[in-house]
């Protein structure tokens, strides 16, 4: 989760990132979650809030370098993964001491210079947005929500204030009713729907070497794999190993002799989790390249299928569709108080360049391996000065293409 020299950014980038970090400590003042246009997701959040109110608290996930939590319903069943903004790897309340030591003792030797710090929760939600826009269906539904729980990592001051307010409310109810909030302050973060019966891809990939999939299942897995490739490439995921994407594989079953159990065909499904280190402001160009580890798999040597081309090529070849994605990303990212518009535009320049490369690769019948070997490109917006109203200024928007010149020192890690 760590790597590139954080101090390698340009002067302007440093200023923008410094401003961002200064603002990112602000808590969202809203107490209640937004109502999403997604009834099933709204129901999950309601279940999570009800469980917390009844004392069924989220449990911390001890893997990884940030504070993340399994969220449960009232029955204790895991229903989601919550990653608070202020508990990200370099967040001020990250409970994992290793990242705190990195930042305090050697800030220039850790982090990713291509990423905006402490924006992982937005990256998680943004990956889900891109997945849904393209109809890939490999990212579990993820949105930005606010939750409060005693098991989250809070400042001692917040904990003591919450306890004091509860005591006052118990003994002096009239005074307690004047408090804006009795409990702990809600944390803003990403909430990803939990997927059951999935295991690390590495676990299954090793098994497939000795126990190959049948032809039909193998073809379906290839299609799922290509969707993962499309997602990761567009969002320029800098942290995709074979341990942070998942596979759910069920072998075929034959019917029982007594007829009680029917025959079931094999099934396989891919889930792309851990998308918090995506949407960089530039292509990696310092020490590490942060390659896609799936590019070294045999599946990456097979040209993209006609099914994948039919699914995404027309969409990503349409600049209006691409701009719609950018607009939706803008609406999402601007809900973060610390976001900088210039930095966001840099992120979109990288994403547009990735989409341009992907569309060309699909047209040329390339494979995922050939795709990642294409030159890194930016597609940047340049605004003209024609017209006096916003309507006319929008007509003067143009895009310029620029190739990356600088390359990372290490290309294999």
Give this prediction's pTM.
0.84
pLDDT at position 286: 78
Region 148-166: mean pLDDT is 84
**Given this model, what pLDDT does residue 107 score?**
54
Q: What is the pLDDT of residues 18-70, one digit of tens each?
A: 444 444 444 443 346 777 889 999 999 999 999 999 999 999 998 877 899 99
Give the residue with greater pLDDT, 397 vs 206: 206
Contacts with 368 (C-beta within 8 Å, 6 or more apart), sequence order: 226, 229, 233, 294, 295, 299, 300, 301, 302, 304
Q: How confident is the model at residue 169 (pLDDT cuts 50, 70, 90)?
A: low
pLDDT band at 351, cuts 50/70/90? very high
Question: What is the per-residue burial (b if ≥16 Cβ within 10 Å, else e) of 150-185?
Answer: eebbbeeeeeebbeebeeebeeeeeeeeeeeeeebb
Distance CA 248, CA 22 (A): 41
Q: Categorize the per-residue pLDDT at 152 as very low, low, confident or very high, splitting at 50, 70 and 90.
A: very high
Check whether 208 has a pLDDT greater than 80: yes
What is the pLDDT at residue 405? 78
Q: What pLDDT score does 70 carry? A: 97
Query: 98 or 282, which is more confident?
Result: 282
For the segment 323-345, the average pLDDT, to the nearest whole number, is 93
Half-sphere exposure of residue 275: CA atoms within 13 angstroms, side-chain side: 32
Give mean pLDDT, residues 350-362: 97
Distance CA 221, CA 88 (A): 32
The conformational region for residue 279 under phi > 0 = left, psi -120 to 50 = alpha, else beta, is: left
For residue 162, name the pLDDT band (cuts at 50, 70, 90): confident
Sheet with 69-72, edge to edge strand ranges: 59-60, 69-72, 78-84, 187-193, 142-147
Reply yes or no on whether the pLDDT at 269 is more than 70. Answer: yes
Q: What is the mean pLDDT of residues 239-250?
A: 94
Average pLDDT of the residues in 140-152? 96
Give the pLDDT score at 381.
84
Write phi, then psi, for 268 (nearest 5 degrees): -145, 140
- Stretch 208-217: mean pLDDT: 94
pLDDT greater than 90 at residue 408: no
Q: How confident is the model at residue 6 (pLDDT cuts 50, 70, 90)?
A: very low
Query: φ, ψ for residue 264 (rounded to 5)?
Result: -125, 135
Residue 89 has a pLDDT of 86
User: Stretch 199-228: mean pLDDT, rounded?
Assistant: 96
Least Cα distance to 120 among 413, 394, 333 occurs for 333
Extract the tokens encoding 330: 């803008």
Task: Identify the DSSP state of 49.
Answer: H
Residue 17, phi then psi, degrees to nearest 5:
-65, -40
> For residue 182, is pLDDT > 80?
no
- What is the pLDDT at residue 262? 83
pLDDT at 254: 84
- pLDDT above 70 covers a percentage of the chain that reads 80
Nearest alpha-carbon partner for 299 in 363, 204, 375, 412 = 204
Query: Residue 102 pLDDT more than 80?
Result: no
- Residue 167 CA: distances (Å) to CA of 34, 54, 176, 402: 30, 19, 9, 61
Mean pLDDT of 257-264: 78
- Using the predicted structure, report yes or no on whether residue 273 has a pLDDT greater than 80: yes
Question: For residue 264, what are the β-bridge partners?
Answer: 253
- Please, which residues have CB within 8 angstroms of residue 295's CB and are 6 or more apart in sequence? 368, 369, 372
The one-character DSSP state at 260 is: S
For the chain, give the mean pLDDT: 84
Min mean pLDDT across 111-120, 126-135, 218-227 is at 111-120
């Amino acid at each position: 989760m760590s790597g590139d020299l954080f101090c390698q950014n340009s002067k302007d980038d440093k200023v923008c990132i410094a401003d961002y970090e200064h603002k990112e400590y602000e808590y969202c003042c809203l107490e209640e979650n937004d109502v999403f246009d997604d009834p099933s997701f709204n129901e999950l959040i309601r279940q999570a809030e009800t469980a917390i109110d009844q004392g069924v608290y989220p449990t911390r996930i001890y893997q990884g370098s940030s504070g993340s939590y399994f969220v449960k319903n009232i029955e204790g069943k895991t229903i989601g993964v919550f990653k608070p903004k202020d508990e990200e790897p370099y967040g001020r309340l990250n409970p994992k001491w290793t990242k705190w030591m990195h930042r305090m003792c050697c800030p220039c030797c850790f982090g990713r210079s291509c990423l905006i710090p402490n924006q992982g929760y937005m990256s998680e939600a943004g990956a889900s947005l891109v997945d849904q826009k393209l109809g890939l269906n490999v990212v579990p539904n993820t949105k930005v929500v606010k939750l409060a729980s005693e098991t989250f990592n809070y400042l001692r001051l917040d904990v003591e204030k919450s306890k004091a307010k509860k005591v006052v409310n118990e003994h002096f109810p009239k005074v307690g009713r004047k408090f804006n909030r009795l409990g702990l302050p809600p944390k803003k973060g990403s909430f990803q729907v939990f997927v059951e019966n999935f295991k690390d891809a590495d676990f299954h990939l090793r098994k497939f070497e000795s126990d190959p999939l049948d032809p039909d299942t193998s073809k379906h897995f290839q299609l799922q794999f290509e969707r993962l490739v499309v997602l990761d490439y567009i969002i320029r995921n800098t942290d995709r190993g074979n341990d942070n994407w998942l596979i759910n594989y069920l072998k075929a079953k034959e019917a029982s002799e007594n007829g009680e159990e029917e025959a079931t065909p094999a099934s396989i499904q891919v889930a792309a989790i851990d998308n918090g280190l995506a949407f960089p402001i530039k292509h990696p160009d310092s020490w590490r390249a942060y390659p896609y580890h799936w590019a070294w798999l045999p599946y990456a040597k097979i040209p993209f299928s006609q099914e994948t081309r039919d699914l995404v090529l027309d969409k990503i070849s349409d600049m209006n569709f691409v701009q719609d994605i950018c607009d939706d990303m803008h609406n999402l990212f601007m809900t973060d108080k610390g976001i900088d518009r210039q930095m966001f535009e840099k992120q979109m320049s990288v994403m547009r360049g990735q989409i341009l490369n992907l569309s060309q690769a699909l047209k040329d019948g390339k494979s995922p391996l050939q795709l990642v070997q294409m030159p890194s490109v930016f597609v940047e917006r340049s605004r003209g000065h024609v017209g006096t109203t916003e309507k006319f200024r929008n007509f003067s928007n143009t895009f310029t293409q620029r190739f990356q010149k600088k390359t990372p020192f290490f290309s294999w890690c």
